[in-house]
Chain A
């Protein structure tokens, strides 16, 4: 293997793979990046066994071949090198020589035979605009569970139907769901894979690199999900198990509506939460004819009370929510009015932003006893 590549190109691709390369591992090969030089490009592959990324950049290939290089050290070195050409050459015993101008470095690689096999991209199933996918992830990913024992909640459900695309995430206490109309040419059935959390983060990075009208090609086989943007391919292992039947928990008859500006509600909840109980983060929302009173109290710190004057015609109601859960949603929701929809003290509350209507965005929180 021998090739030369521009620093700028290489650095860009290498930084993309950093999110995937496993730093914390006792399996040495996973800290390495696989470089394959062929034709007029070099392909870089990184994997942590759950997630793999394959990117490539233009290169002058003198001799085709492949080798592995420690990913983290390579990135740090390339970052420090001045702009210009960098030459790579595979030496004996898996060493890789790196030449830039009159600077010479040699890195200890590992045999490429140890590098895990990465599945090839199958026939693309659909093309999703990067902006839509990225936006769906931003609206839902925060609700994914971090509890490892609830494995089917460790990812978001991506539901593709011939004319809609939906993403749902839940941790059992709250559920975020966003849906948008999008006609998929050639999709006749419903596809509903579970996408692991780490993959979602990387998809967002790829999407942001893809720019305004970037398109993500999506495909799946029995055990992998594939997301391709141009030459960059992200491969995630699929999670097993059934995502809970989320449709059953979507509230149907929450008929007590009150509309609040996002920023107003966000600021008020944030302030009140300062004095909320440190363990439960509970705040109480009392909705009456006068408006919405947000209050919290904790035995150690004291109590807080704010009243937002809003129009409300229904029966008075008081309900408790976890302030953190509310703030997560308010940070993700578009600016503008938010509709808070309740039924009674014991039933789940729903929040819906009224702006940005294209995304049918709903957020459901289970109430707390207060």
Chain B
């Protein structure tokens, strides 16, 4: 094992190795980028390299230290174990008192959003204050090896008042520890936290790299690999979790919504398909919106350059071409604005189905009447 197995984002890998080689490791880093591009994986590799018994700026994957830290590669069984250890249905106080920590080596902790649901059913997995306190406390103990590493996955889920607890440790960092915060988007974190971390923005991988990773790590057929790599938009983690059939269907459904909304034919059918999308239990609504964005990108590309070869959704080329002939750039920008507004309002927990209906109707072309309903 070594850093060479990490595909994509070569600049970040080089920067991290340079830090280790020069022994100038920062006390806090922030890894941002789309889900599944390897932020956690690289953080884990960095932890291995920082403590590997053989190498200084790389890791062997074979020494005891590397092996133990390497167990963090699959966090699912560790999380299940930890939750079982805490017992069924813990109350809120227990969750804080017994924080969920993943630890396979004494110097390296992975802290992931605690999936325990409290009474409030909308509560999502989040980093808890108990976990943050535990990290803060542990960070001031000297490492057994060379460096203590705390990987905080899902840093965007920590509540803002809890995040403030963290400022102390970011301001007066212990010299022997590094915190690695992981979040999809840096702007979901408090500016005070963001400004105290060294930021690395991960970019999506090339489709070929994703296919390569899928070939090495899964047993997909070549055709499936290709499709999965395309649909994942450069994120091998997403590609591996992808349910191909569902993903293809989702795209087709989303496209149907767009097609119907342009012509505003069969409004009841349109609303049926929007509500199916909005109420789906399996697919998070954010992902549905991402699919819309991806389709709209293709429509924009095709309406400007009808002969464009590379598409995000090559499987739907024909339908997309038809759609792109009916619309123009202004329509696409209107649609994107509509989805942006919907996305922003999700934070206030608006009715998703109605929100999607409103966007769909507002995209009708030509507009049925000027004062038609929009998001408001």
CB distance from B204 to the nearest CB of A (A): 33
For the complex, is A27 an interface residue (Cβ under 8 Å from B)? yes
CB within 8 Å of B: which A221-243 residues:
222-224, 237-241
B370 at the interface (CB under 8 A from A): no
- Kindly list chain A residues whose C-beta atoms are within 8 Å of the C-beta of B137: 148, 151, 154
Q: Which residues on the A side are within 8 Å of B141 (C-beta)?
A: 50, 196, 237-240
Residues of the B chain whose Cβ atoms lie less than 8 Å from the Cβ of A240? 140-142, 174-176
**Which chain A residues in 105-143 approach chain B with CB under 8 Å?**
114, 116-117, 119
Contact with B along A20-55 (1 / 0, CB 8 A): 000011111001000000000000000001100000
> Does B297 sit within 8 A of A, measured CB to CB?
no
Point out the residues of chain B lying under 8 angstroms from A196, CB to CB: 141
Per the bound structure, the CA–CA distance linking A24 and B82 in Å amounts to 11
Known: A240-B174, A240-B175. A24 touches B98 (CB 8 A): yes
Question: Are B85's CB and A26's CB within 8 A?
Answer: yes
* Pair A151/B174 contact, Cβ less than 8 Å: yes
Known A24-B97, A26-B99, A27-B101; contact A241-B140, beta-carbon cutoff 8 A: yes
Chain A residues whose CB sits within 8 angstroms of the CB of B136 once the complex forms: 148-149
The answer to whether A26 touches B101 (Cβ under 8 A) is yes
The yes or no answer to B317 lying at the interface (CB within 8 A) is no
Complex alpha-carbon distance, A137 and B170, angstroms: 32
Q: Distance in Å from the Cβ of B22 to the closest Cβ of chain A?
A: 21
With A26-B100, A117-B64 known as contacts, the answer to whether A239 contacts B81 (CB < 8 A) is: no
Interface residues of B in 61-88 (CB under 8 A from A): 64, 81-86
B143 on the A face (CB < 8 A): yes
- Specify which chain A residues have a CB less than 8 angstroms from the CB of B144 in the assembled complex: 117, 119, 223-224, 237
Chain B positions within 8 Å of A224 at CB level? 142, 144
Contacts of B140 in A (CB 8 A): 151-152, 154, 239-241
| Cα–Cα, bound, A240→B136 (Å) | 13
CB distance from A330 to the nearest CB of B (A): 31
B residues 107-141 in Cβ contact with A at 8 Å: 133, 136-138, 140-141
Give B351 Cβ to nearest chain A Cβ, in Å: 37
**Structural contact, A28 and B81, CB atoms closer than 8 A:** yes
| Chain B residues within 8 Å of chain A by Cβ, number | 31
With contact pairs A223-B143, A237-B142, A241-B174 given, residues A49 and B106 touching in the complex (Cβ less than 8 Å): yes
Tell whether B308 is near chain A: CB-to-CB under 8 Å. no
Known A240-B140, A240-B141; judge A27-B175 contact (CB<8 A). Answer: no
* Inter-subunit contact B142/A148 (CB<8 Å): no
A151 neighbours in B (Cβ, 8 Å): 137, 140, 174
B-contact bits for A167-202, CB 8 A (1 contact / 0 none): 000000000000000000000000000001000000
B106 surroundings in chain A (CB, below 8 A): 49, 116-117
Flag whether B168 is at the interface (Cβ < 8 A): yes
Complex: how many Å from CA A114 to CA B143? 18
> Cβ of B321 < 8 Å from any Cβ of A?
no
**B168/A149 in contact, CB under 8 A:** yes
Interchain CB contact under 8 A, B83 and A238: no
Which residues in A have their C-beta under 8 angstroms from that of B104? 114
Instruction: Tell me the complex Cα distance, A116–B140, Å.
Output: 19
> Main secondary structure on chain A at its contact with chain B?
loop
Q: How far is the CA of A222 from the CA of B146 in the complex (A)?
A: 10
Tell whether, in the assembled complex, residue B174 and residue A27 are in contact, meaning their CB atoms are under 8 Å apart: no
CA distance A26 to B83 in the complex (A): 7
A28–B165 CA distance with the chains assembled, in angstroms: 27
Determine the chain B residues whose CB is within 8 A of the CB of A25 once the complex forms: 85, 98, 101
Smallest CB separation, A192 vs chain B (Å): 14
Known: A116-B106, A149-B168, A240-B174. A26 touches B86 (CB 8 A): yes
Contacts of A241 in B (CB 8 A): 140, 174
For residue B212, CB closer than 8 A to chain A, the reply is no
A281 and B183 alpha carbons, distance in the complex (Å): 45
B52–chain A nearest beta-carbon distance, Å:
15
Q: Which residues of A contact B263 (CB under 8 A)?
A: none
- Nearest chain B CB to A327's CB is how many angstroms away? 28
Closest Cβ–Cβ distance, residue A33 to chain B (whole Å): 16
Chain A residues within 8 Å of B142, by CB: 222-224, 237-240
Query: Which residues of chain A are near B86, meaning CB under 8 Å?
Result: 26
Tell me if A26 and B82 are in contact (CB < 8 A): yes
Closest to A155 in B: B140
Question: Are A27 and B97 interface neighbours, CB within 8 A?
Answer: no
Which residue in chain A gives the minimum CB-CB distance to B82? A26
Q: In whole Å, how far is A119's beta carbon from the nearest beta carbon of chain B? A: 7
Q: Which A residues lie within 8 Å of B97 (CB)?
A: 24
State the Cβ distance, B80 to closest chain A Cβ, in Å. 11
Give the contacting residue for A31; candidates B85, B100, B101; CB below 8 A.
B85
- Asked if B103 lies at the interface with its beta carbon under 8 angstroms from chain A, I say yes
Query: How many Å from the CB of B89 to the closest CB on chain A?
Result: 15
8 Å CB interface, B136-185 against A: 136-138, 140-144, 165, 168, 174-176
Q: When the two chains form their complex, are residues A27 and B64 in contact, meaning their CB atoms are under 8 A apart?
A: no
- Complex Cα–Cα for A154 and B99 (A): 20
Closest Cβ neighbor of B67 among chain A residues: A113
Question: Interface on A for B, CB 8 Å cutoff?
Answer: 24-28, 31, 49-50, 114, 116-117, 119, 148-149, 151-152, 154, 196, 222-224, 237-241
With A223-B142, A239-B142 given, can you name 7 additional A-B contacts, CB distance below 8 Å?
A: A24-B98, A26-B100, A27-B103, A49-B106, A117-B64, A151-B140, A241-B140
27 contacts between A and B (CB under 8 A): A24-B97, A24-B98, A26-B81, A27-B82, A27-B101, A27-B102, A27-B103, A28-B81, A28-B82, A28-B84, A31-B85, A49-B103, A50-B138, A117-B144, A148-B136, A148-B137, A151-B140, A154-B137, A223-B142, A223-B144, A237-B141, A238-B142, A239-B140, A239-B141, A240-B141, A240-B174, A241-B174
Q: Which 10 A-B residue pairs are closest in the complex by CB-CB distance?
A: A26-B82, A223-B142, A151-B140, A237-B141, A24-B98, A240-B174, A238-B142, A26-B100, A149-B168, A28-B85
